């Protein structure tokens, strides 16, 4: 599969509002909320990034952590709480945790990059995409190869998908094999650098960019918040950036004529 096979990737550069723009000043302590996504959309963002978990009674939630503790005024594992219990929690003391369905309805023109964070979320994510006919509006991802493979089996090729961490590693260390491997993933989503065995190594390389592009796929880098790094990545030929500082990335892309 190639990125060009999906209308999802029709922008000249993909600017992803990571959790709505988690450290954009109006969104401080309000990540992954309708408030945060509203701010990103108001700036003109078309691509919104979020994660999904399932409540104990099978409600799909747009939330990063597996626990409420870090960002809400409640505690507990999402997988062990009912939606009624979770709905009482407030992110940053202000905002309820949105259901993915709420976001799909609230932003009908937006495209979503969605990371399945738990096994229980996989079937719910596939059924939600189907229920809202959001096939062209979603790119699915997961660090877990098993979750990603199941999502692909459930959704087929109608929905774009990113490579798992294992897939990124294959492409990074054997870029010459990228076209031969030709997995269903049409995007590699990864950090610029990564710690391995106590050492810092560069994930993004010119050879990787060239190999991925020859295979008709895209490279998206997370999570980048400073303008200097953003500019370097654009010059390196990446196709998209995930950012918490949605204002900074917009300004850089406007300067480069890549903002749409």
Rounded CA gap, 117 and 241, in Å? 20
**Rounded to 10 degrees, what is the CA torsion of 61, 66, 67, 71?**
-70
- Give the start-end residues of each E strand in 19-64: 47-54, 60-62
Vertex 244: Cα angle to 241 and 246 (nearest 5): 75
120 and 94 Cβ atoms separated by less than 8 Å: no
* 64 assigned to active site: yes
Q: Closest by alpha carbon to 19, among 253, 251, 242?
A: 242
Q: Which runs of E-coded beta strand occur in 74-186?
A: 111-116, 138-141, 160-161
Outline where DSSP puts E strands in 31-152. Answer: 47-54, 60-62, 111-116, 138-141
Catalytic: which of 29, 53, 64, 194? 64
Residue 14, Cβ density class (10 Å: 0-12 exposed, 13-18 middle, ≥19 buried) = buried
Could you say which of 18, 35, 94, 149 is catalytic?
18
Instruction: Name, in order, each residue with C-beta under 8 angstroms of 234's C-beta and a sequence gap of 6 or more.
Output: 13, 252, 256, 258
Pair of tokens at residue 156: 């087929």
Q: What angle do CA 95, 86, 26 make, to 5 degrees?
A: 15
Positions marked active-site: 18, 64
């Amino acid at each position: 599969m190639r990125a060009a096979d999906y209308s999802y990737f029709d922008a000249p550069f993909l600017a992803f509002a990571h959790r709505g723009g988690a450290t954009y000043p109006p969104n401080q302590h309000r990540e992954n909320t309708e408030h945060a996504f509203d701010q990103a959309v108001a700036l003109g963002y078309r691509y919104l990034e979020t994660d999904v978990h399932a409540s104990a009674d099978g409600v799909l939630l747009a939330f990063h952590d597996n626990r409420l503790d870090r960002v809400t005024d409640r505690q507990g594992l999402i997988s062990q709480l009912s939606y009624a219990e979770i709905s009482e929690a407030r992110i940053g003391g202000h905002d309820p945790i949105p259901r993915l369905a709420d976001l799909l309805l609230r932003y009908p023109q937006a495209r979503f990059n969605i990371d399945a964070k738990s096994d229980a979320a996989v079937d719910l994510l596939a059924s939600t995409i189907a229920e809202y006919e959001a096939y062209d509006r979603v790119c699915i991802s997961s660090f877990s190869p098993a979750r990603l493979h199941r999502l692909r089996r459930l959704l087929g090729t109608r929905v774009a998908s990113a490579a798992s961490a294992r897939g990124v590693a294959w492409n990074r260390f054997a870029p010459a094999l990228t076209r031969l491997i030709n997995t269903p993933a049409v995007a590699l989503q990864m950090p610029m650098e990564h710690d391995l065995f106590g050492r810092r190594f560069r994930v993004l390389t010119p050879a990787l960019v060239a190999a991925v592009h020859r295979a008709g796929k895209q490279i998206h880098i997370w999570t980048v918040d400073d303008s200097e790094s953003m500019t370097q990545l654009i010059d390196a030929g990446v196709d998209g950036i995930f950012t918490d500082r949605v204002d900074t990335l917009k300004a850089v892309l406007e300067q480069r004529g890549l903002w749409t």
